Chain A
Amino acid sequence: MPQTGLILDTLCILKQGAPLITLNARIDPGEVLTVMGRSGVGKSTLLAAITGTLPPAFQLRGRIVLNGTDITAAPPQTRHIGILFQDELLFPHLSVGGNLAFGLPATVRGRAARRARVNAALTDIDMAGFADRDPATLSGGQKARVALMRMLLSEPRALLLDEPFARLDADLRSQIRRFVFDRAQRLNLPVLLVTHDSADARAAGGKVVELKAP
């Protein structure tokens, strides 16, 4: 039985040879690790390293292992690591249904079958009948739910959250936060949350590490 979960094995990100961030962590399935730190300390850089989109100005040392597979050098699209940003980043030229279908793996074949999966996903987030809507017409909460569902449809094996609740107003924030953590737990995903809001960290309920410049 290979080790499950997301392992960041003595990860070190360097900028022009100088170490910027170091992190050694293990996130078990269904568990949330919260990384906190001042803005500008390189939280987003850390996430870029894990998604495989680190700009060439940075170098990465150490290993990233997901469910027993070393993905340190894998191209981003084959890592199966989902990410949610502060902005929902729904593709503005696609309908709501189109956005969800973009996330749905190509292995789901046939127009009707794909359409059915998209509709089921929309029903699941209380948005049945929204498939043909323009994402720009959705409320903040609806956008957040579509963004999460799009990510989940792509069957990720881990989830990264880049301050995904920072833009939402207080009411909505706790609601969406609960929604995201519930879903991730139900799917048994290891979750890495990056935030500067300690309420996020409390709600996540897992371990908290403070990110500092070494």
Chain B
Amino acid sequence: MTRRSGLHLAPALTLALMLGPVLAGLLGTLAPALGLFPALGGTEISGAPFMKLIQWPGLGPAVRLSMTTGLLATLLSLGITAVLLAAWHGTAAFRWLERALAPLLSVPHAAAAFGIAFLIAPSGWIARALSPWATGWQYPPDLLIVQDPWGIAMTMGLVAKELPFLVLMALAALPQAQPGRSMLVAQALGYGRMTGWLKAVFPRVYAQIRLPVYAVLAYSMTVVDVAIILGPNTPPPLSVQVVRWMSDPDLTLRFQAAAGAMLQLALVLAALGLWRLGEGVVARLGHGWALRGGRGTRDGALRFLTMGVGAASVAAILLGLAGLALWSVAGVWRFPHLLPDTLSLRSWARHGPGLSDPALDTLWIAAAATLIALALVVACLESEHRYGLKTSTRSLWLLYLPLLVPQIAFLPGVQTLALMLGGDTGRGAVILSHVVFVLPYVFLSLGDPFRSWDSRHATVAAALGASPARTLWAVRLPMLLAPVLTAAAVGFAVSVGQYLPTLLIGGGRVQTLTTEAVALASGGDRRIIGVYALAQTGLVMLGFAAAIAIPRVLWRNRRGVKEG
């Protein structure tokens, strides 16, 4: 009387939906890179696309930018994460920082980048705060701070956004490293807080967060939306140039776009390899450092410096968002005034109506992608529970694959394949492409709470005569409502923030708040950018607010239900 519910197919289906597009997309990008694209007359293998790519004069700087911004952003975020934890983990100040970091994770990359751009621009808040008394500027100076040719602004923006991610991943990994006991021993041996932590705890934490770090590296090297907003223009980082070629009306440019995408993939693989080598070197050096026995007891000043860096990173995003909000309601705002001279709702009144269409599209796409991902993840986890499957390290790698393979390397291929097969590149395709990126995050978010649920509840329910399905719907999911909704909010935020899949798979016909906002970047109208970026952030925040509020309201008389 074991009814097959189809649940056992869930893991395979999930993998297919998640990895299918990645693998097919890579092939679909590789083919035109080698000259094969029958619809465009490419019927035999040729080296022409790569030759064209090499002849592009911007290639050298574009490649260099991708490598430097990616590696530097990753190094800095990881380094700051390590010293912040070393200096402050377990203190009240750290809990405060942690509470501030968690919501920042949900701020879409594009909105955060716009906010930071407004902050550091020659006419931005920092310049205004210092003018004219310190700088003497009566007018915004003619400096290229945002979109600087070295990609410094872009790197800073990435660090501010990736730091919360890595800190929270490290915090999730910490309990397994048992930092309390190690620190007790280290301090009893006379080690200073930071030195003891870095020597005794960090190596174990790093081993746990290696995959997220790799994901940050791959992401930072290949990000498009942040690069369009904060990165240099001529030439841009390689990924941005590939998108330009992909969007060009001259379809023959698609060949070199594909070649560029493949080069980008090779760069990411090379950088990951380099990082791996670096891990070995740092491990060797760190080992020697630990064995030399230096206690590093005088770390007081350094501790405060690290807190300053952490707080500055939080402040950059928060002030950036505040700046966006202010610009969206600013009337006249002359330089160097710190606050607008007049306030007006004109920007909202003018752009509000145009906002509703992309906002609704964003909402539907995100809701659908999240629902599909959530259903698959719950089905996978439940089949894991029912059939006693164990998740191996290998399957964790598979989960991270869509986050490690650059979007720019496989999404053009997915688009090409969709076009070749005469498929639809509308909303449905966009939703499926979002699922690829939403799934891993929903899985990572829900996996631990789902697995750590006391399965004796299932035994009791079965002993009471409840079928596995009833146990899932009437006991397990209601008890896990808070983590389920949190995972949904995370997935929703990931979908809302997607730029490249919407742009490429939507064929330019699907407009979300994110694609609209990024498209406004070149126009530089701060008021309308403020409106769009704020709407984008607001939508994500609404999702998280709902995830927090619904369990509280529903279980307000149920103290025993843990909050997620």
A-B contact number at CB 8 A: 86
Judge whether B461 is part of the interface by a CB distance below 8 angstroms: yes
Query: CA A137 – CA B561 in complex, angstroms?
Result: 12
Chain A residues, Cβ within 8 Å of B388: 55-57
Binary contact readout B449-472 vs A (1 if CB under 8 angstroms, 0 otherwise): 000001011111111111110000
In the complex, B558 has a CB within 8 A of chain A: yes
Interface of A is mostly: loop
Contact B560 A135 (CB under 8 A): yes
Q: Mark B1-45, 1 if CB is under 8 A from A, else 0.
A: 110000000000000000000000000000000000000000000
Tell which of B465, B481, B562 touches A77, judged by Cβ atoms closer than 8 Å: B465
A-B contact pairs, 9 of them (CB 8 A): A52-B462, A76-B463, A77-B467, A78-B1, A89-B454, A92-B558, A102-B464, A135-B560, A151-B463
With A89-B457, A93-B558, A137-B559 known to touch, is A83 a contact of B465 (CB < 8 Å)? Answer: no
Task: Specify which chain A residues have a CB less than 8 angstroms from the CB of B561 in the assembled complex.
Answer: 92-93
Task: Judge whether A92 and B466 touch: CB under 8 Å.
Answer: no
Residues of A within 8 A of B (CB): 48, 51-53, 55-57, 74-83, 85, 87, 89-93, 102-103, 105, 134-137, 150-151, 154, 156
- Whether the Cβ atoms of B461 and A102 lie closer than 8 Å is yes
Contact in complex: A77, B462 (CB < 8 Å): yes
In the complex, the chain B residue whose C-beta lies closest to that of A150 is B464
Q: Provide the bound-state CA to CA distance between A51 and B558, in Å.
A: 29
Question: Once bound together, how far apart are the Cα atoms of A77 and B457, in whole Å?
Answer: 13
**Count, chain B residues at interface, CB 8 A:** 30
B463 touches A81 (CB 8 A): yes
Nearest B residue to A56, CB-CB:
B388
| Distance between A20 CB and nearest chain B CB, rounded to angstroms | 16
| CB atoms of B460 and A89 under 8 A apart | yes
B229 proximal to A (CB < 8 A): no
A92-B463 contact given A56-B388, A78-B1, CB 8 Å threshold: no
B145 within 8 A of A: no
Q: A76-B462, A93-B478, A102-B466 are in contact. Are A87 and B456 (CB under 8 A)?
A: yes
Per the bound structure, the CA–CA distance linking A97 and B458 in Å amounts to 19
Assuming the contacts A48-B459, A83-B459, A91-B457, asked whether A136 and B560 have C-beta atoms less than 8 A apart, the reply is yes
Residues of chain A with a CB closer than 8 A to B465's CB: 77-78, 80, 103, 105, 154
Q: Which partner residue on chain B sits nearest A105 by CB separation?
A: B465
Q: What residues on A are CB-neighbors of B460 within 8 Å?
A: 83, 85, 89, 151
- Complex formed: what's the CA distance from A82 to B463 in Å? 5
Q: How far is the CA of A154 from the CA of B387 in the complex (A)?
A: 26
Question: Which residue of B is nearest A74, CB measured?
Answer: B1
Interface positions, chain B 190-238, Cβ under 8 Å from A, are none
Is there a chain A Cβ closer than 8 Å to B319's Cβ?
no
A89 to B560, CA, bound (A): 10
Q: B479 touching A91 by the CB < 8 A rule? A: yes
Cβ distance A207 to chain B, nearest Cβ, rounded Å: 23
A134-B559 contact, Cβ under 8 Å, with A77-B467, A81-B463: yes
Chain A residue contacts of B463, Cβ below 8 A = 51, 76-77, 79, 81-83, 151, 154, 156
Of B1, B2, B388, B459, most A-chain CB atoms within 10 Å: B459
Check if B557 is an interface residue, CB within 8 A of chain A.
Answer: yes
Asked whether, in the complex, the Cβ of A134 is within 8 Å of the Cβ of B464, the reply is no
Complexed CA–CA distance, A92 and B555 (Å): 9
Chain A residues within an 8 Å CB radius of B466: 77, 102
A213 to B454, CA, bound (A): 27
B464 lies within 8 A of A85 (CB): no
Note all chain A residues with C-beta closer than 8 A to B185: none
On chain B, the residues within 8 Å of A91 by CB distance are 457, 461, 475, 479
